[in-house]
Amino acid sequence: MKQSLWTVDEIVSATGGSVRGKPGDASGISIDSRTVEPGDLFIAIKGDQFDGHAFVDAALEAGAAAALVSADQADALKVPKAGLIVVDDSYDGLYDLARAARARAAGTMLAITGSVGKTSTKETFRLILSAFGKTHAPVKSFNNHWGVPLTLCRMPRDTDYGVFEIGMNHSGEITPLSKLVQPHVAMITTVAPVHLENLGSLDAIAAAKAEIFDGLLEGGTAVVHGDIDHSDFLKERAIASGAGKVMTFGHGAGSDAELMQVALLPDCSTVEAKISYKTMTYKVGAPGEHLVVNSLGVLAVCSALGLDLAKAGMALANMEQPDGRGRKHVIDTPGDAITLLDESYNANPASVKAALKVLSRLPTGQRGRRIAVLGDMLELGDEASAMHGALVYDLTALGVDKVYACGPLMKALWRVLPMEKRGAYAESSDGLRDPLLSDLAPGDAVMIKGSLGSKMGPLVELILQRYKDRER
């Protein structure tokens, strides 16, 4: 039987709710009736497309111990044996429970944001900190206005390290989430041209990312990328927010976590770095210079927390990338294997360039080619067309042999691609299915990337279903 995460009394006390029926203690928290597990508290919040109150019955039938519902919806619901906890507003109730989770937490809280690298850095922290204590982090990219409080609500009371990823599309979105988490450590991976359509400039993006320091506990530690143009601005914002220590990471001499030497290999990287004046060597178990740089920031945090850096460095050798964010698949064929790099979850100019660098180092067979399959990079504003066209320079410099492109914005790249690099162009990812599959050959290395809205993920699944993935 699962251990109780929240007792009914704790939920009622945190939310100011009232009980109908006989709700049970909760061993987990869910806001999606499709993923409810026996013993969960189902919180019926109204989303952009669906109102969770319509799925209360389904959640309770799936074994939920109770449902937390809004008062104006409660009378229309049948009171099941499991029972209801009725609050003024269920969305506010989610936040009330999140605040209670933070208030009872005795462990160290970390918050991460950045234009790119948030999720991989969050997973790196999960990997390393799990070697030092009970670590809690979101299972997916739960980094928005419902994902962060949900992650807090799910945090066990005996957590030693809580890791929270915080994202945004507009200014003002990170501040309330950072204040909810109240981190002891706040890290910004980088500032890059992402969400330009909403924010307008890199300066505005930097200011929005700096909001993560608004919730930093007095005297806490701020960690920022020392190589970027906005490094000094971010450090100033951290100090103004009450940071007791500001650390930098990157290539630059004088960084608290400084990259000395690196060997970038197809499957991993070996690194020599200076962390808080101590030189160390370690292996990053997944490929890509961007992961190496962010590992410096992670080790800077470990240093600030007084953790054993040698032990932390050893854990980095076990790093793996999740689906959609750099996961590598090796696919058997009658000839040489096909290597597939799944970068389908999201895209912006910085992350596409990083993925192309990884592609350039992937092994190919005797007649294999390096193929980039690219969908639109969204939310880039007025410069979107120019940014898509400019990818031709990276594709050429990094030796990509063939390009498959889709989406109205990628048409700007297609127009300037040399004829010998053209694979196929389509208005949507569906249009690339047949030409891509028919062209793939033994020994090829393929990278698929695009913003989530460009729906590149189905192309990854198509290839994996067509061929045999060694991991599957």
**Radius of gyration (Cα) for the chain, nearest Å?**
24
Q: In the β-sheet with 370-374, what is the strand arrangement from edge to edge?
A: 422-426, 402-406, 370-374, 445-449, 338-343, 327-332, 468-469
Burial of 455 (0-12, 13-18, 19+ CB in 10 A): middle
Structure tokens at 223: 């960690």
pLDDT of residue 81: 77
pLDDT of residue 141: 80
pLDDT of 1 > 60? The answer is: no
Confidence band for 333, pLDDT divided at 50, 70 and 90: confident
- The C-alpha atoms of residue 53 and residue 56 are separated, in whole angstroms, by 5
pLDDT of residue 226: 96
Domains of the chain: 8-88 (3.40.1390.10), 105-316 (3.40.1190.10), 327-469 (3.90.190.20)
pLDDT digits (tens, 9 = 90+) for 155-187: 999 999 999 999 998 999 999 999 999 999 999
pLDDT of 127 > 80? The answer is: yes
pLDDT of residue 2: 62
Which one, of 197, 120, 142, lies nearest residue 351 by Cα? Answer: 120
Which residues make Cβ contacts (< 8 Å) with residue 326, sequence separation at least 6?
120, 286, 287, 288, 291, 341, 342, 343, 355, 358
pLDDT digits (tens, 9 = 90+) for 376-385: 999 999 999 9
pLDDT of residue 270: 97
Is 441 within 8 Å of 334 (Cβ atoms)? no
pLDDT digits (tens, 9 = 90+) for 209-232: 999 999 999 999 999 999 999 999
pLDDT of residue 3: 74
pLDDT of 472 > 70? The answer is: no
- The C-alpha atoms of residue 410 and residue 385 are separated, in whole angstroms, by 8
Mean pLDDT of the chain: 94
The SS3 call for residue 46 is: strand
